[in-house]
Structure 1
Amino acid sequence: MRWRLFQQKPIRVSRAFTIAVFTTLSAITGFSCSKNKDVLVTEIGVTSPNPRPAKTSKAGEFYIQGQNQHVKGDLQTAIASYNQAISLNPQYGEAYNSRGLAYFDLGDKKRAIADYDQALSINHNNAEAYNNRGNARASLGDNKAAIEDYNEAIRLAPNYAEAYNNRGNAHAANKDQKAALNDYDQAIRLDQKYVIAYNNRGNARAANGDPQGAIADYNQAIRLNSNFAPAYNNRGNARAANGDKPGALKDLQKAAAIFKKQGNNDLYQQVMNNIQELQ
């Protein structure tokens, strides 16, 4: 996904960027910003699997242990626990899927995909594994394969809001804003409190030349989560595109303050650079 420059008339912000948010069933979220200036920021964070019933087997105990370590951000230790679970039960599809999530959060997308492949070889109807593999493929730039995975996840789980949102991101990356909007609409119909989907639909509307519609979506994202920095940043860009310099500055300053508080220095600095240029 690429940085999007807004068409700005009375106000010019030459390095304005939008933040699209890409989820993989996150429990603890964070932001990763590529050093490549052509890459749009995506949310990957510490991604824990869905809670599962406690298992009585020894393999199940290692699996639950890995989940708890993952949520705490101790990824290497979580992987070691998943390894133990898999060594005791080589057909433990959930452990492969969860280990894939841990590898994804470590940035090792190829190992993540290998684990999702294994999970799917054990259970062809694992919608979560398809969604997660789609996320990994999208993060590597293979949006076509990602969309195929999201399609399969949605076929297996028609009410899977996150898969619609993620497929929307892949369509947006392919410059198919109409398909992206349709997917974000469906994600929001399924979950009317889906902050990330509102933010991403706002981005698609802005890219489609609808800054007012974009602002409405960012407003809703902020109403649902007043500390969601990407929506403030993106609303600031949309307001700048509309010539509302005071409103744009206020939003960008709010985004910068949240990113600073979160310790996200990369995004904080990028927003501060935009503020300086806008001033």
Structure 2
Amino acid sequence: MDLQDFVQQEGGSEEDKIAAWNLFQQAYEFQMQGKLDEAVSYYKQSLEKFPTAEAHTFLGWTYSFRGQLSEAIEECHLAIKIDPDFGNPYNDIGAYLIEMDQLNEAISWFERATNAKRYESPAFPHMNLGRVYERKGDWDEAIMSYKQAITLNPKYLAAKQAMMRLIGLMN
């Protein structure tokens, strides 16, 4: 999402949206620098100016870096309430559930992510489904999921490696 997309969202003043966008960008920079407390603060300030699914999702991602998976999941649920078509929070909830060793629960979240109307990286939930099925010992389903990830993103090296590793183990 760029600034133009951000400003075109419904509600709020253009001034608040621009301020929220700038705070979101600063938060992301802090997050990438590992300054998680600052990132959390700036994401929250962005949300106060103009709440977006992206800011909630990225705040959740920051919480996950701090090991706060319940808070991360809560932020994803808030993101989904704002924009149920945005795929990232569905995938992220599934990823957090994997970390919590709740594999069966993760599957439905990844499936929802694969059906999202708005998702910049649609190969990710397929890769994550592959990871779940592989951990559950369902290698055929895992390979199918990895293949789908590769179909969506032919340059997805991790999916290619995972698929080839499993095929090698099956032979």
TM-score (norm 1): 0.53
1:109, CA displacement in angstroms?
Answer: 2.0
Amino acid at match of 2:164: G
For residues 150 and 140 of structure 2, the distance between their equivalents in structure 1, rounded to whole angstroms, comes to 15
RMSD, aligned CA: 2.1
> Where does residue 20 of structure 2 map in the other structure?
93
Amino acid at match of 2:162: N
1:95, CA displacement in angstroms?
Answer: 0.9
Q: 1:194 aligns with which of 119, 122, 125?
A: 122
1:128, CA displacement in angstroms?
Answer: 1.2
For residues 46 and 152 of structure 2, the distance between their equivalents in structure 1, rounded to whole angstroms, comes to 34
Aligned-residue identity in percent: 22
TM-score (norm 2): 0.84
Q: 2:77 aligns with which of 151, 168, 178?
A: 151
Uncovered stretches (5+) of structure 2, i.e. residues with no partner: 6-15
Trace 1:234-253 onto structure 2 (pairs within 5 A).
Answer: 234-242=162-170, 244=171
User: How many corresponding residue pairs?
Assistant: 158
Q: From the CA coordinates, give the structure whose radius of gyration is larger.
A: 1
Trace 1:212-231 onto structure 2 (pairs within 5 A).
Answer: 212-231=140-159
Judge conservation of contact 2:3–2:21 (CA < 8 Å) in 1.
no
Amino acid at match of 1:139: F
Uncovered stretches (5+) of structure 1, i.e. residues with no partner: 1-49, 55-88, 245-279
Amino acid at match of 1:154: I
Q: 1:161 aligns with which of 87, 93, 98?
A: 87
Say which SS state the counterpart of residue 4 (structure 2) adopts: coil
> Where does residue 43 of structure 2 map in the other structure?
116
Say which SS state the counterpart of residue 205 (structure 1) adopts: helix
For residues 181 and 110 of structure 1, the distance between their equivalents in structure 2, rounded to whole angstroms, comes to 31
Higher helix proportion = 2
Report 1 or 2 for greater relative contact order, CA contacts < 8 Å, sequence distance ≥ 6. 1
1:231, CA displacement in angstroms?
Answer: 0.3
